[in-house]
Amino acid sequence: MTQLTIREAISQALWEEMERDQRVIILGEEVGLWGGTYAVTRGFYDHFGPERVRDTPIAEGVIVGAANGAAMAGLRPVAELMTINFAFLAMDQIVNGAAKIHYMFGGQFKVPVVIRAVGGGGRQLGATHSQTPDAVFAHFPGLKVVAPGTPHDAKGLLKAAIRTDDPVLFIEHATLYQTKGEVPEGDFVEPIGVSKVQRQGSDVTIITYSKMLQLSLQAAEQLALEGVQAEIIDLRSLRPLDMGPALASVKRTNRAVVVEEGWRSFGVGAEVVSRLHEEAFDYLDAPVKRVAQDEVPLPYNRELEQLALPQIDDILAAVREVL
């Protein structure tokens, strides 16, 4: 094992996959000479050259559309979008192109494209640059949606995404890049569509993913001081959504809290709670609680932004209520 930040883990995954497979290319705004908006591809342009690391215009529809075409022609492109908020400008290429081409052409074409996009709030970037619209993209069959919360999973899941023949939206949280954790040395992949128990416990189940995983782990440490052992299930992938570990956990703890950064209405948490009620209702000793962002466009002001985003105290309050 080695200690890496999530930024380093993602960069390593890209580098190793480009070395392993000459078909892997990178394209996006400032990914080449500048080394990426978040410095993930720094040094790639000099090493792999302009044929495989391509700077593009500020045109998200063009970026994803070109990546789709390259994928259909036999390459394995990784398209970087500066933020997931800009994915709205490429919505047709993502949900009507990448997600559907394989099905609409009866399997004659594959679209092995990875779309890397930075999501989440907490950096004072304003309402239009700080959204968590993960559930919007997870709604569409044909598109895999992955959102890791640890360096280990960021590397293993990105390598798996690049190797799969399906289109993958790979969501990286803007405030997690400096998060450190253990990552195995050498080549490894993590399976897409498999949830993971990140902390074992017996009193309550916390189901979460991405940035909220880190907050939930911190909340669990505080709960442990009160004698409450929380089990934490990391979804990691939103489509396919693996509810197996969450259902098994709830059937033991009999209580659940779902934590997400997105808005509460029509969100990931709503889907998870519905599945829990459909498949584990008889095991619940209390209503499932949801922790999510306040239903407002995210403010620019730092204090108001943090007030609107889910915090550790919100998770603690929800757990205490279901207990």
Topology agreement, domain 2-183 and domain 196-322: yes
Residues annotated as catalytic (active site), given as ranges: 60, 129
Mean pLDDT of 169-181: 97
Q: Are strands 204-208 and 256-263 parallel, antiparallel or unpaired?
A: parallel
**Confidence (pLDDT) at 17:** 98
**Confidence (pLDDT) at 240:** 98
**Confidence (pLDDT) at 279:** 97
**Confidence (pLDDT) at 93:** 98
Strands (E), the chain: 2-5, 24-28, 53-55, 76-81, 114-119, 144-146, 168-173, 180-183, 196-199, 204-208, 230-234, 237-239, 256-263, 289-293
**Confidence (pLDDT) at 37:** 86
> Per-residue pLDDT tens for 261-303?
999 999 999 999 999 999 999 999 999 999 999 999 999 999 9
Question: In CATH, which of 3.40.190.170, 3.40.50.970, 3.30.420.40, 3.40.50.1700 is domain 2-183?
Answer: 3.40.50.970
Q: Is the pLDDT of residue 52 over 90?
A: yes
In the chain, what are the domain boundaries? 2-183, 196-322
Quote the CA–CA distance of 36 and 190 in Å, as a whole number.
Answer: 24
Question: In CATH, which of 1.20.120.140, 3.40.50.620, 3.40.50.300, 3.40.50.920 is domain 196-322?
Answer: 3.40.50.920
Q: Is the pLDDT of residue 99 over 90?
A: yes
> Per-residue pLDDT tens for 199-219?
999 999 999 999 999 999 999
Query: Where does residue 63 rank: exposed (0-12), middle (13-18), buried (19+ CB within 10 A)?
Result: buried
**Averaged pLDDT score across all residues of the chain:** 97
> Per-residue pLDDT tens for 61-82?
999 999 999 999 999 999 999 9
CA 31 to chain CA mean position, Å: 20
